[in-house]
Structure 1
């Protein structure tokens, strides 16, 4: 039996359990209990009249990368539906989606839920970001003869190898993608090898995303609470990296006694755990969700809230980007680079090797390997603000030069937009 048929039958068989599974996830904070119906294809909003483009990004980073396209579609007079799969992405998009765009949660990939979703929204064009591939959804979109475009598409060597183990299923599924607009030549070659019929390289949309916003009043209040203290931030950190940041702070405390270290964990729910780590080492700790602005005397400030990265990045001039001291491939450094931060990172940045390579070549980023090397790099930069600012300016220039993907993507999908306009007449 073909692998896609087996997958379809399995998802049909598991459909009756979906409500209970989603309810359990809601209790864990992984689903919005008031919007669980959307995960089963039930619409939370009416479909707007006229042409509708549906864009999907799995989680926060992928969905934010779609914002430049959202703006361009709205300027063209096209309605926009954005779907995601995570609670955190929904919270952030609520504040950042412009008028003319609405958000829904992506339904689970069960045929019944997929058909209910598509029947209500009836999109004219479908754009999926990066490597989000749901077999039942893709097959249903193809059956309705809707154009399906992968944008900002990327696929790792490991993921491509997994797909190649299912040669028949992979070629069927990838063959139903109308157009694949890849971030780079390596991903483009992998998509072609897996059976995507039309592939182009358009660059990385994340270079075109505006930096995360913050109100002037909130920034002034936060900076006022910090005062003249030297400050740095460890952002998007994972387990193990917070302890390294805390140890780096301890190493620096003798040289920089008034130092403030801001830790922004990738998962805000780990805030109390990180605060306990710092307290156990004798440090004064502030937890944003509990204590508000950093008080005088706080040494480690744990920013355990959602959607405030723009505030913290504007309050510092040097950051450490997480998931890079663990063997997990690193996090995207574009946002801190856009805001002129000098960037420090660990050795594991394979997921964004090209970007980190460009930043390193421009001397906008530097590699560290442990708490000692992180402390030395921070002392070097914090003691020389002019060098720190020079690194930040170099990084901002790198990401400015690498922009333009949204324009290339819009040009590539223009034939689909023109066709949908003709069909509306």
Structure 2
């Protein structure tokens, strides 16, 4: 009870701080405006019929949900689907692809908002992607005895909610209908904490999504000519700290081709990169049919990186020298090896790749140089590529497994209700 009171105070302070920040921050302004009159908007957009509500904190989490939704659609399910986002950028760049019926911003997690939200939605089932916990909303779902599922979950032993006293996360996990985890280690941690009875290993939907993108045809004549018969490195979601390591190699190995896709594509950052590059790049938005003499293609727009990995021989995944590693799976789906900086501990796939010799962690330009030189051997590169695809394939079809569990439970509930 004391925790609930303290949380209610804290969440209201959080909302007030965002409101204050919206005076000067565009992101905070979008957060506030997107939630204005949220209950009226939600009543208007809620589709009729039985409803599956999916919550994804950001666009990345929704990408994980797409294979599940595709599997549900293929099964002939008549469930209507609405998706909520916490991040403004998630809803801003959201594309339904015909898989959902409506979308909205998750309101601030006060007790009053939680009650109103569940009353308006009245969902048949609720599915949270990964583990964004909003205690008031989740408790309102449980109190209404609505089936609650988590999918794509990764548990680690050092997560705060396993040891922090009186926190609401563990009780909520114990009341979930099913917790669907990505890997064996997560299942073992769940079992140690008394959750074996409602936890199941389904795999990782990100693998499905990455494979779907890989399987989608994509043609770009300029890039095909630009990379033809050249050793091509894709620097994906690159940050300045990453650039400092590989920029010297652009100057040293002029015969290599580079496709650089920065994490930040703002005009200011693109100008900074152009200024610091050892050669003038071709901008993605200014590509022409004729191949330039430049050995660098700079991607200054969003939404193309996952498709561009098919043109590479190796990928440098950004974030490993800063806040944390970005998506490696989009590159691995093509069977190309990945390398990254040392900040990868929270990403189970990175650890498993390194353990199996399928990726490389570098700290210096010299480390990176030596690894790239080894990959120029066609035979060694082919052997490594085959091993990567074999490793990748074992984690596919998670979306179908999650959808099957959802449908089995919901069909059973419907039969019992009848």
TM-score (norm 2): 0.83
The 5 A counterparts of 1:217-296 are 218-224=219-225, 229-253=230-254, 256=255, 259-269=256-266, 272-273=268-269, 275-280=271-276, 282-288=278-284, 291-292=286-287, 296=292
> Which of 351, 372, 375 is 1:378 aligned to?
372
Structure 2 spans left out of the alignment, 5+ residues: none
> What's 1:181 paired with?
180
Hey, what does 1:333 align to over in structure 2? 328
1:189-200 to 2 correspondences below 5 Å = 189-191=188-190, 198-200=198-200
Does 187-196 or 108-117 show the bigger shift? 187-196
The Cα shift of 1:233 comes to 0.8
Q: Distance in 2 between matches of 1:359 and 1:172?
A: 35
Deviation at 1:69, TM superposition (A): 0.9
- Cα displacement (A) at 1:385: 3.7
How much does 1:125 deviate?
A: 0.7
Closer/same/farther in 2, CA of residues 286 and 71 from structure 1, 3 Å limit:
same
Which residue of structure 2 aligns with residue 320 of structure 1?
Answer: 316
2:147 matched to 1:147?
yes
Residue aligned with 2:233, SS: strand
SS of corresponding position for 2:206: helix
Q: 1-side partners of 2:307 and 2:165: how far apart?
A: 45
Name the CA distance, whole Å, in 2 between partners of 1:29 and 1:83: 17
- The 8 Å contact of residues 41 and 113 in structure 1, kept in 2 or not, is answered as no
Between the aligned partners of 2:31 and 2:10, the Cα distance in structure 1 is 25
**In 2, Cα distance between the equivalents of 1:408 and 1:215?**
22
Partners of 1:162 and 1:338 lie apart in 2 by 33
CA contact (8 A) 2:237 2:326 kept: yes
CA deviations over 1:304-327 (Å, ceiling 9, x no partner): 32221233212222111222344x
1:140, distance to aligned residue in structure 2 (A): 1.7
Alignment partner, residue 392 of structure 1: 385
Partner of 2:49: 50
Secondary structure at the counterpart of residue 236 of structure 1: strand
The answer (yes or no) to whether the contact 1:286–1:301 under 8 Å persists in 2 is yes
- Counterpart CA distance in 2 for 1:260 and 1:174 is 48
Which residue in the other structure is 1:97 paired with?
97
The 1-side partners of 2:214 and 2:44 are apart by 27
- The DSSP-based 3-state class of the residue aligned with 1:234 is strand
State the shift of 1:281 in Å: 5.1
Structure 1 stretches lacking a partner, 5+ long: none
Contact 2:178–2:198 (8 Å) recurs in 1: yes
Distance 1:29 1:378, change over 3 A: farther
Q: Distance in 1 between matches of 2:166 and 2:192?
A: 10
- After superposition, give the CA deviation of every residue in 1:316-370 in whole Å (9 maximum; x if it has no partner): 22111222344x5533422211122232233443223445524763x54333332
Specify the SS of the correspondent of 2:8.
helix
1:83, 1:106 within 8 Å by CA — same for their partners in 2? yes
- After superposition, the CA RMSD in angstroms is 3.5
- Equivalent residue for 2:405? 412
Shift of 1:117: 3.3
* Match in the other structure for 2:107: 107
Pairing partner for 1:369 from 359, 363, 373: 363
The TM-score normalised by the length of structure 1 is: 0.82
- For 2:398 and 2:220, the matched residues in 1 are separated by 30
1:264, distance to aligned residue in structure 2 (A): 1.8
- Cα distance between partner residues in 1 of 2:265 and 2:43: 27
Residues 239 and 85 (structure 1 numbering): CA distance in 2 closer, same or farther, change over 3 Å?
A: farther
Using the alignment, how far apart are the partners of 1:376 and 1:193 within structure 2? 42
Q: Distance in 2 between matches of 1:83 and 1:396?
A: 33
Deviation at 1:7, TM superposition (A): 0.6
Find the counterpart in structure 2 of residue 5 from structure 1: 5
**Equivalent residues, number:** 413
**Could you tell me whether the CA contact under 8 Å between 1:170 and 1:195 is conserved in 2?**
no
Once the 2 structures are TM-superposed, how far is the Cα of residue 87 of structure 1 from its aligned partner?
A: 4.3
3-state DSSP of counterpart to 1:331: coil
CA contact (8 A) 2:19 2:32 kept: no
Say whether the 8 Å CA contact 1:237–1:266 is kept in structure 2: yes
Q: Is the 8 A contact 2:56 2:85 kept in 1?
A: yes
Deviation at 1:190, TM superposition (A): 4.0
